[in-house]
Structure 1
Amino acid sequence: MTKWSIVKRINVYGASSFISLKHLVLAPADLSSNCSFSGLINTGEEDEEELLKKMVKHSESGSNIISKIDYMNLVDKYTRYGNLSAAYDLLQSLQEKNICLPISVSENLLVAAGEQNDWKLSCRIFREILVSAGKPLSSDCYLNLARAFINTDDCTHLSSLLKEISESSLSCRLIVLNRVIFAFAESRQIDKVLVILEQMKEWQCKPDVITYNSVLDILGRAGLVNEMLELFSSMKEDCDVSLNIITYNTVINGMKKACRFDMCLVLYNEMVQCGIEPDLLSYTAVIDSLGRSGNIKEALRLFVEMKKRQIQPSVYVYRALIDCLKKSGDFHRALQLSDELKNTSSLDLAGPQDFKRHLRSHRR
């Protein structure tokens, strides 16, 4: 019996069988040694069978020095040839021997699992990366997890993973759950976003205002205004969640995009009554919606109020008001605003960078 127990596996991408290293890792005596096994490995065209035979032969010769690069090459070969289970098993075996490969190896495996829509393996790999990364995961990790679920309605493994994260001791667990929600929204899996949100209400790590605001934005972008209003109402009933300027701006913009202009003013007035002061995004959305609905008088009133509060109007607000005044036949007032716009320095106008700054602060 050799130091390794050898298991035969069938390569799903070829006709021949090859030798797998599942649970068969030879622990290096000193990974920091200058000695390396790399010279025995052809990292180019050599197939797995020949590669692993060399590794077995080398181990039987009594040497126990194998570099991390060799293991990385082997995991990479498994991943590239589509044998993801063998790659994952090898990584697990290495962890049991306290041999840690760079996190990029697991990230590449997660990419491949997502491409194959292997949601079970994706959940396992994501869990491993989250535990071992020691730093915030990249957005690509979350997106690759979400992509694995595109062609399935089975959320059992996903729910199990997220519940485990919710009950963990991770200080960033709520951030992780919120980023998972955002990733599923980015991949247009809104039904799963709503499932996650509902389940979170029963978990130890419950949704916060950032969670709700993210889902409101997702629903608004998708044009699901009824669902957005329903969620907005449920937020008001949740004693643990305090609505903020981001909440109202998100819903107002969602209503504007859906041409529900009447609701924009209602929400604006409600926000003010709650003691929340409107900002650049609030005024821009409401003034635009009022102008489009033909309520020019109220739009101009808010325009004046905006300037009194020293919130610089944007060129978009000017153009929206000028357009609406022309349509209503008030050419004199439209000309006045047009002259005001021409005489206003571009430095005194809110521009795209101001909207971006507000949006960035809203997402934090």
Structure 2
Amino acid sequence: MAKWSIVKRITVFGGSFNSMKHMVLAPAELSWTCSFSAMHSLIDTGGGEEVPKKTAENSGSSGSNSIRRIDDYTSLVEKYRRDGNLSAAYDLLHSLQDKKNICFPVSVLNNLLAAAGGEKDTKLSCRAFRLLLFQAAGTAPLSWDCYLNLARAFIDTDDCFHLLDLLREVSVSSLPCRLIVINRTILAFAESRQVDKVVKILDKMKEWECKPDVITYNSVLDVLGRAGLVNEMLKLLSSMKEESDVSLNIITYNTVLNGTRRACRFDMCLVLYQEMVGCGIEPDLLSYTAVIDSLGRSGNTKEALRLFDEMKEREKIRPSVYVYRALIDCLKKSGEFQRALQLSDELKNTSSLDLAGPLDFKRYLRPLRR
């Protein structure tokens, strides 16, 4: 469709949808075509012809009626939400799924999604999320709250039918951000500690057109590690190594190192660290912190001190107060009081500028969410 056709089409359907003005700035050849059953066409891409002038000029009652109907639908959805009649809101959205040019304001859908999440209404949550996702396509990504509200609807149920159906449709759609949407959904379910659903999504993704990438795998590794499911985490790491199109990175190993450390699987930390270095991945502050702490707590203070000295020799890495204190505590427990006293004095004489602080850890904690 030509650029001016888009402008005129937006003019025909009213100026109440301010967010659509950004589509004018999108490249003319950009096309968002999805297979979602609930998506409503905002632009007629039928023949690529411009809308005749008389359509805009002579819209008369039909144009005003169209706008009035949209306003009526919006008011009705809001009324159902305020009254707590979410099933009626769902039925209304379902009845309008084949209607063209019905575009609800984002704020209305956001409120509906939040209400559906609070009421644990999985069907309505997925439908509202679908509409939000489509209307945001090409303009702005969905807010993090949208993903959290979607996840909240599934907290008290084991039924993932609507969720998996939604994500499958995302997977086969032409949205360029489809993998990002699925990855952010995984993170939202991880944040609400729905580990079983995160694993189900990953398993289904392997069957879908949109395959998991290293960000997907790293997210699931983190979920399993935080849940203490170390064996499952290590099994997933092994399967990642067999994937030809997935390359393990520093985030992968840091995630697994911290997962094994939290679960007190100190025997695995050094093995994983050596494997990481053997792959040519240089350890960073998080890597050193995890393995040094693990070695110290397992009683292997000699190797912990060696890695501590190695870390201090790295130009771009500064030791943290946490590493110093962890080592001092481990040395005391192993009866190495003299060495513990030396480290304590070293810490006292070290300027705070030469120590890693919270901001340094944030810098190394590369976000899994994108």
TM-score category, normalised to shorter length? 0.7 to 0.9
Q: Could you tell me how far apart the structure 1 residues matched to 2:73 and 2:164 are?
A: 32
Equivalence for 2:103: 100
Query: Which amino acid counterpart does residue 305 of structure 1 have in structure 2?
Result: E
CA contact (8 A) 2:78 2:108 kept: yes
Instruction: Describe the shift of the 1:103–1:85 C-alpha distance in structure 2 as closer, same or farther (beyond 3 A).
Output: same
Q: State the match for 1:83 in structure 2.
A: 85
Question: 1:362, 1:207 → 2: CA distance?
Answer: 13
Root-mean-square deviation (Å): 2.2
Q: Which residue of 1 aligns with 2:216?
A: 211
Q: Structure 1 residues 179, 361: CA separation in 2 closer, same or farther (over 3 Å shift)?
A: closer
Deviation of 1:204 after TM superposition, in Å, equals 0.7
What is the letter of the counterpart of residue 84 of structure 1? L
| Alignment partner, residue 294 of structure 2 | 289
2:41 paired residue number: none
User: Which residue in 2 is equivalent to 1:277?
Assistant: 282
What is the deviation of 1:84? 2.3
TM-score by length of 1: 0.79
Q: Kindly state the Cα deviation for residue 98 of structure 1 after the two structures are TM-superposed.
A: 2.3
Unaligned runs of 5+ in 2: 1-11, 17-63
Question: Counterpart amino acid of 1:347?
Answer: L
2:331–2:339 CA contact under 8 A, matched in 1: yes
Alignment-derived partner of residue 157 in structure 2? 152
Deviation readout 1:82-109 (Å, 9 max, x if unpaired)? 2224334545649836243321101111
Gaps of 5+ in 1: 1-28, 34-62
Amino acid at match of 2:233: M
Matched position secondary structure for 2:176: coil
Describe the SS at the equivalent of 1:360.
coil
How far, CA to CA, are the matches of 2:350 and 2:340 in structure 1? 15
> What's the counterpart of residue 7 of structure 2?
none
- For 1:141 and 1:354, the matched residues in 2 are separated by 30
State how far apart, in whole Å, the 2-side matches of 1:362 and 1:122 are: 24
Within the alignment, does 1:353 sit opposite 2:359 as a pair? yes
Contact 2:320/2:357 (8 A) holds in 1 = yes
C-alpha distance 70-158 of structure 1, shift in aligned 2 (>3 A)? closer
Q: Contact between 1:200 and 1:207, CA under 8 Å: does it hold in 2?
A: yes
| Amino acid across the alignment from 1:109 | L
Contact kept, 8 Å, 1:264 with 1:286, in 2: the verdict is yes
Query: CA 1:99 to 1:168, structure 2 compared with 1: closer, same or farther past 3 Å?
Result: closer
Q: What displacement does 1:231 show?
A: 0.7
SS of the residue 2:283 aligns to: coil
Question: What is the CA–CA distance in structure 2 between the aligned matches of 1:161 and 1:244, rounded to whole Å?
Answer: 30
Percent of matched pairs sharing the same residue: 76
Shift of 1:121: 2.1
Contact 2:184 2:369 in 1 (8 A): no
Residues 278-357 of structure 1: pairs in structure 2 closer than 5 A: 278-310=283-315, 311-357=317-363
1:326 deviates by 1.6
Pair 338,30 (structure 1): closer, same or farther in 2 beyond 3 Å: closer
Deviates more, 1:254-263 or 1:118-127: 118-127
Task: Give the equivalent residue in structure 1 for 2:55.
Answer: none
Q: Which has the higher contact order (CA 8 A, sep 6+)?
A: 2
Compare 102-111 and 263-272 and name the one that shifted more.
102-111
Please name the residue that 2:255 is paired with: 250
2:106 is aligned with what amino acid?
Answer: I
Would you say the 8 A contact 2:219–2:368 is kept in 1? no
Tell me the residue number matched to 1:126.
Answer: 129
Cα displacement (A) at 1:149 = 1.8
For residues 196-250 of structure 1, what are the alpha-carbon distances to aligned partners after superposition, in whole Å with 9 as ceiling and x for unaligned? 1001011111000000000000011111111111111111111111111111111
Is residue 183–residue 369 contact of structure 2 (8 Å, CA) maintained in 1? no
Per-residue CA distance 1:288-312 (angstroms, 9 max, x = gap) = 1111111111011001111111211
| Aligned-partner Cα distance in 2 for 1:94–1:198 | 30
1:225 aligns with 2:230: yes
Q: Would you say the 8 A contact 1:31–1:68 is kept in 2?
A: no
Q: 1:74 to 1:157 in 2, by over 3 A?
A: closer
Q: TM-score, normalised by structure 2?
A: 0.78
SS in 1 for 2:366: helix
Instruction: Give the stretch that moved more between structures: 242-251 or 130-139.
Output: 130-139
Structure 2 residue aligned with 1:184: 189
> Are the equivalent residues in 2 in contact too, given 1:31–1:66 (CA < 8 A)?
no
Alignment size in residue pairs? 307
Q: Could you tell me whether the CA contact under 8 Å between 1:31 and 1:67 is conserved in 2?
A: no
Equivalent AA in structure 2 for residue 82 of structure 1 = G
Aligned-partner Cα distance in 2 for 1:108–1:172: 23
* Native 8 Å contact 1:94 1:100 kept in 2: no
Which range is displaced more, 246-255 or 136-145?
A: 136-145
CA displacement, residues 43-65 of structure 1 (integer Å, 9 cap, x when unaligned): xxxxxxxxxxxxxxxxxxxx957
